[in-house]
């Protein structure tokens, strides 16, 4: 089936199923273009709670579809490809959190949304890269905090808030692959460009040292900033899928990826063909057992309550 026909069939099935399509900013351009809403994890989490659709087709990775299912237990949540996982989420399991809790009975667990539902169920509150600083700053200062699982985002939060955190040593393989030498090369090649860098990047500290005016931002933060900035050129340090959205929201500006091969192959597993098949066959339905969903929902709602 050709792309135009696929798009027509997706739109027809979407209406027939009373469905909404949500897509992360790292998805393929054609998948972003078919979506009703494109955004980062925080925006997608909020949008999932607002929709009155019967079916949510989540064009992202597994933990994101789980989050939508947890927040919308009465809706059907579909993930077009079950193999769309996350290297960061796989770095930690519930037993790791339980072991820390046993050592810190008065501690608070902050779980980045890039975790499994089972890990979220062990947490007190969730966060995204967009609100991690706000979440940690809201917590009591006299209790230990376990931040899981991204060590680079944790270090960023620790630096900004001044709070000492216990940080799990997990990383995203894409962001960890963006090296200090990549930044240095782009700094030399584009001295007048603004630098936008995701706090999951392992080189974020180096970037701040080399370019004190660099902006550490979530994917959605990058989009908002680029749209309102007077600058015409930006170097972008995150997964390259964001470039499509940046060009859409800030037309006429130039966006240079720090690494053109900063690609999450998990994100790219979702295709238009798979979105069509997902709607046609109502596959693959993502469900979360109630004993996990209930405590995970509490942690997610505690995050969303911050605004």
Known binding residues for iminosuccinate are 24, 41, 112-114, 129, 198-200, 219
Residue written as tokens 């790292």? 26
Integer Cα distance of 65 and 58 in angstroms: 6
Q: State how far the alpha carbon of 39 is from the alpha carbons of 61, 101, 149, 165, 227, in Å.
A: 13, 33, 21, 28, 15
Binding site, annotated residues for [4Fe-4S] cluster: 86, 172, 264
Integer Cα distance of 235 and 256 in angstroms: 5
Integer Cα distance of 79 and 143 in angstroms: 38
The distance between the two most distant Cα atoms of the chain, rounded to a whole number of Å, is: 60
Tabulate helix, strand, coil % of the chain (nearest 5): 45, 15, 40
Binding site, annotated residues: 24, 41, 86, 112-114, 129, 172, 198-200, 219, 264
| Residue 306 near residue 131, CB atoms below 8 Å | yes
Integer Cα distance of 195 and 213 in angstroms: 8
| Residue 292 near residue 111, CB atoms below 8 Å | no
Give the three-state DSSP class for 61: coil
Q: Which residues contact 266 (CB under 8 A, 6 or more apart)?
A: 61, 83, 84, 85, 86, 87
| Residue 89 near residue 51, CB atoms below 8 Å | no
φ, ψ for residue 100, nearest 5 deg:
-65, -40
């Amino acid at each position: 089936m050709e792309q135009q026909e696929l798009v027509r069939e997706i739109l027809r099935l979407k209406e027939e199923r009373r469905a909404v399509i949500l897509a992360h900013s790292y998805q393929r351009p054609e998948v972003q273009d078919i979506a009703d809403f494109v955004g980062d994890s925080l925006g997608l989490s909020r949008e999932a709670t607002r929709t009155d659709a019967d079916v949510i087709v989540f064009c992202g990775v597994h933990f994101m579809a789980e989050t939508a299912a947890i927040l919308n237990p009465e809706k059907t949540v579909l993930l077009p490809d079950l193999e769309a996982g996350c290297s960061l989420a796989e770095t930690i399991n519930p037993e790791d959190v339980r072991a820390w809790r046993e050592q810190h009975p008065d501690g608070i667990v902050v779980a980045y949304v890039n975790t499994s539902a089972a890990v979220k169920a062990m947490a007190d509150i969730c966060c995204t890269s967009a609100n991690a600083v706000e979440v940690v700053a809201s917590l009591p200062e006299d209790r230990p905090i376990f931040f899981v699982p991204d060590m680079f985002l944790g270090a960023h939060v620790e630096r900004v808030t001044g709070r000492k955190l216990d940080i799990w040593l997990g990383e995203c393989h894409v962001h960890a692959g963006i090296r200090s030498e990549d930044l240095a090369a782009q700094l030399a090649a584009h001295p007048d460009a603004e630098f936008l860098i995701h706090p999951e990047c392992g080189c974020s500290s180096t970037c701040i040292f080399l370019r004190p005016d660099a902006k550490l931002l979530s994917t959605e933060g990058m989009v908002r900033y680029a749209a309102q900035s007077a600058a015409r050129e930006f170097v972008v340090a995150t997964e390259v899928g964001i470039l499509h959205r940046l060009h859409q929201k800030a037309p006429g500006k130039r966006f240079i990826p720090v690494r053109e091969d900063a690609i999450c192959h998990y994100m790219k597993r979702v295709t238009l063909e798979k979105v069509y098949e997902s709607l046609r066959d109502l596959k693959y339905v993502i469900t979360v057992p109630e004993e996990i969903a209930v405590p995970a929902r509490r942690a997610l709602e505690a995050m969303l309550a911050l605004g």
